[in-house]
Amino acid sequence: MAGRRGRDYPGMNLRTDHYYGELWDYVMPACSATNQVWTIACNAVGSHGVTGEPFWGGSGIWAPSGICLIQASRLNEELVIVHNVDVKGAQESEKDDFDYAFDFKQIYRPLEEGSTFTRNLS
């Protein structure tokens, strides 16, 4: 694209406008699953008003398991209305599969000072 200010890496077949968008799609569910938290994230979509550079879009909600509950368009501005998301109920239903703290405590025990852990061998 003529006049484009983004960084391209042609030797790697990589354009940053796609890279940062794809990074968004990987990071949002990964952060939710790794930290076991709900992620509600907004991202701009469409063209930048001054430079014309494209924004990726893809605003959405990710459950603590990393599953995307809803995600807006990556290309077009749209209004997404969400109501009655059962955050507490979803946390309870996912606890058996995604309670990493429970699993961790079954395998590791704290050393005397409490900030370092060692594997339970018994």
3-state secondary structure the chain: CCCCCCCEEHHHCEEHHHHHHHHHHHHHHHHHHHHCCCEEECCCEEECCCCCCEEECCCEEECCCCCEEEECCCCCCCCCCCCCCCHHHHHHHHHHHHCHHHHHHHHEEECCCCCCEEECCC
This prediction has a pTM of: 0.63
At 6-18, the pLDDT tens digits run 566 667 766 666 7
Q: What are the chain's domains?
A: 8-119 (3.60.110.10)
At 52-102, the pLDDT tens digits run 878 889 999 998 889 999 999 988 888 888 888 777 776 677 666 666 667
